[in-house]
Structure 1
Amino acid sequence: MTKQARIIGAPTDYGANRRGVDMGPSAIRYAGLADQLEDAGVSCTDVGDVTAPPAETQDADKRVPEEGNAKFVEEIEAVSHELAEEVEATIAGGATPLVVGGDHSVAIGSLRGAAADADIGTVWFDAHADLNAPSTSPSGNVHGMPLAAALGHRDFAGVDWATAPRLNPENVVWVGLRSVDDQEAADVRDSAGTAFTMSDIDEHGIDEITERAMAIASDGVDGVHVSLDLDWLDPNEAPGVGTPVRGGVTYREAHRAMEIVAEHDREHDSLRSMEAVEVNPILDEHNETAHLATELAASALGKRILGRE
């Protein structure tokens, strides 16, 4: 056992518009996450879940004035604080944080914790850019805003609890975009980050795109946060997600991408933290998407088809 991972559950659906994704951490654990990691040669500790009262008991329409059109802001702030502390402490203890969600708003806490005392980049495996802000979001759902929050973009400028202080904009890489709002598209083009769409994957292949993404994200920083939204995959592969978009990556492409993440980590010690989010058991078929999440996390942390060296 050469690598250590710490599983941190973030059972939230504050950021989503469909209930059920708060059960994602339980579904992923039930699908055998710990066993998959052990098979990958990873020493695994599960510290349970951060505090997240059910969304049904909270007031979605309660607004913090400076946040504008954003739902459950106070609840997301509280989760982000606790999660950031867990992630930061995990890294300080020499382990790799593996956050299991929960909707993608949990990335605000993951990124803040990973960037607390180190310069980081991020690779964002997602159908969506997640660069919306309260003033530009069509829905007010914060799971479409975590990268904007972490970068202090637009309405999040100066919002201390949301920003990741040492996330370098030029080390932000999107992989597999295929559903981006008009304002987001303009903001992605104007950003210092690098965006690879599904068309880029079709043209160049998953190997080249993921290798380029990891190289860009890790250039000149202390480590990379990998954010895996299960809606990155085609809905035929991952049916249990809240915002499915046709035309995503295949099962094998997703595994190959995570294997390249692991290969880059073995060569460069680059993987600082990771999350797998947006598994919604209510919408799933036989817990298929949760099983897929466990397999992909294990691949990213080093599991190989023929075993470890």
Structure 2
Amino acid sequence: MTPHIRLIGAPTDVGAGTRGASMGPEAFRVAGLQPTLEGHGLRVTDWGNINGPANPWQAPVGGYRHLAEVAAWNHAVHQEVHAALSEGEMPMLLGGDHCLAIGSISAVARHCRRLGKTLRVLWLDAHTDFNTDALTPTGNTHGMPVAVLCGHGPAELTGIGGVSPALQPSAIRQIGIRSVDAGEKRFVRESGLEVFDMRYIDEMGMRHTMQAALAGIDDSTHLHVSFDVDFLDASFAPGVGTAVKGGPTYREAQLCMEMIADTGRMASLDVMELNPALDVRNATAEVALELIESLFGKSTLMRRS
């Protein structure tokens, strides 16, 4: 059945250390996200933008920057994403910075608990985002959402979905990782996160990586993709606040997306951290749009399923 996609904009950079991701949702609209997807026969409704508090741009307090504002945005995201799922639609959250995945994925986890579905999260990112107040060098919560979802963080964030932790590390597969803070490395290892970093991809190739990351998915799986645009190599996707060299090439990224599409299991999506203030003529938004097309089944040839 053709999914009915609900676009949900979350225009904030409250969890980031660089301003500009708040303009991400509009950059995707300018790039033609809705008409492009509709051109592939998909049903798409743009629900506009969520409202939330302004970014106060203050120093960290107790290891967290803007905790009250981050919590408010994530509560709002949680409600909108959960409403879309409850009404049988596929939410596509347009960020905004990656702290918003706390609200999005906690809503997906809540939905899966209600339906008895198995949740698999593919975290496409240059960073593991597994910091805590004790580990973070910055206090920026866009470096913490995976840890929060796994129950490590303040109650204002870990309790958003009504259950803490929202999910176990075993539900997550991280792909494209190449920047992890010093203290975060040990915590990632101790927590048992399954991480396919760039060395793994270099040695094994993207095809093998995706086969491993997608192993075990079946009819009872809800597949959620959290796509941080800094997953991509900065040479062709500069419009992000935390660009890191040495990411997947354009073709590697396309293969990643096409293999996700081949499963037919993607049921929700975040597209995060696009920063038009650092982009060049909206080129990063356009590249990301091409990859989103592939996530929804665009391919060079008509392939056998």
Contact preservation (8 Å) 1:6, 1:96: yes
The verdict on how the C-alpha distance between 1:95 and 1:39 changes in structure 2, with shifts beyond 3 A counting, is same
Cα drift, residue 62 of structure 1: 7.4
2:53 corresponds to 1:93: no
The answer to whether 1:60 aligns with 2:58 is yes
Q: 1:282 aligns with which of 277, 280, 285?
A: 277
Deviation at 1:130, TM superposition (A): 0.1
* Distance of aligned partners of 1:165 and 1:239 in 2 relative to their CA distance in 1, 3 Å threshold: same
Residue 77 of structure 1, aligned match among 65, 71, 75: 71
- SS of match in other structure, 1:94: coil
Show structure 2 runs of 5+ residues with no match. Answer: 113-117
**Within 1, Cα distance between the matches of 2:271 and 2:126?**
14
SS of aligned partner of 1:304: coil
Distance 1:292 1:106 in 2: 22
Stretches of structure 1 lacking an aligned partner (at least 5 in a row): none
* TM-score of the two chains, using structure 1 as the length reference: 0.90
Q: Answer whether contact 1:120 1:168 (CA < 8 A) is retained.
A: no
CA distance in 2, matches of 1:43, 1:126: 27
1:21-60 equivalences in 2 (<5 Å): 21-55=21-55, 58=56, 60=58
Residue 297 of structure 1 pairs with residue 283 of structure 2 = no
CA distance in 1 between partners of 2:164 and 2:31 (Å): 31
Using the alignment, how far apart are the partners of 2:57 and 2:278 within structure 1? 24
Task: Give the conservation status (yes or no) of the 8 Å contact 1:239–1:285.
Answer: yes
Q: Is contact 2:102–2:157 with CA below 8 Å preserved after alignment?
A: no
Q: 1:147 is matched with which residue?
A: 146
Seen in structure 2, the aligned counterparts of structure 1 residues 154 and 81 have a Cα distance that, compared at 3 Å, is closer
Deviates more, 1:196-205 or 1:111-120: 111-120
Instruction: Find the aligned partners of 1:245 and 1:59 in 2 and give their Cα distance.
Output: 24
Change (3 A) 1:24 1:202: same
Q: TM-score, normalised by structure 2?
A: 0.91
CA distance in 1, matches of 2:153, 2:67: 16
Corresponding residue for residue 212 of structure 1:
212
Instruction: Specify whether residues 308 and 86 from structure 1 end up closer, same or farther in structure 2 by C-alpha distance, changes over 3 A only.
Output: farther
Name 1:225's counterpart in structure 2.
224
User: Any idea what SS the aligned residue of 1:224 has?
Assistant: strand
Q: C-alpha separation between the residues in 2 aligned to 1:295 and 1:122? A: 21
Q: Deviation of residue 190 (structure 1)? A: 1.5
Q: Say if 1:178 and 1:198, in contact at 8 Å, map to a contact too.
A: yes
SS at match of 1:240: coil
Deviation at residue 135 of structure 1 after TM alignment: 1.8
In structure 2, what is the equivalent of residue 271 of structure 1?
A: 266
Would you say the 8 A contact 1:87–1:97 is kept in 2? yes
Q: CA–CA distance in 2 between the matches of 1:203 and 1:23?
A: 36
- SS of 2:122 mapped into structure 1: strand
CA distance in 1, matches of 2:15, 2:182: 20
Deviations 1:43-62 (A, max 9, x none): 1111011113431xx36347
Checking the alignment, whether the CA contact within 8 Å between 2:24 and 2:276 is kept in structure 1 is: yes
Q: CA deviation digits over 1:87-116, x for unaligned, max 9?
A: 111111222111111110110111111111
Question: Match for residue 114 of structure 1?
Answer: 108
SS in 2 for 1:175: strand
SS at match of 2:170: strand
**Contact residue 112 and residue 164 of structure 1 kept, 8 A:** no
Count, aligned residues: 298
Deviations 1:157-187 (A, max 9, x none): 9841277654232121111111001221111
Shift of residue 40, structure 1, vs aligned partner: 2.8
In 2, distance between residues paired with 1:62 and 1:190?
A: 26
1:180 equivalenced with 2:180 (yes/no): yes
Q: Is the 8 A contact 2:65 2:140 kept in 1?
A: yes
Structure 2: distance between partners of 1:59 and 1:104: 17
Deviations 1:139-162 (CA, angstroms, capped at 9, x unpaired): 000100011111112556984127
Q: Is the 8 A contact 2:158 2:164 kept in 1?
A: no
Paired residue for 2:115?
none
Counterpart of 1:199 in structure 2 is 199
Cα distance change on mapping 1:77 and 1:221 into 2, 3 Å: farther
Alpha carbons of structure 1 residues 272 and 166: separation in structure 2 relative to 1, 3 Å: farther
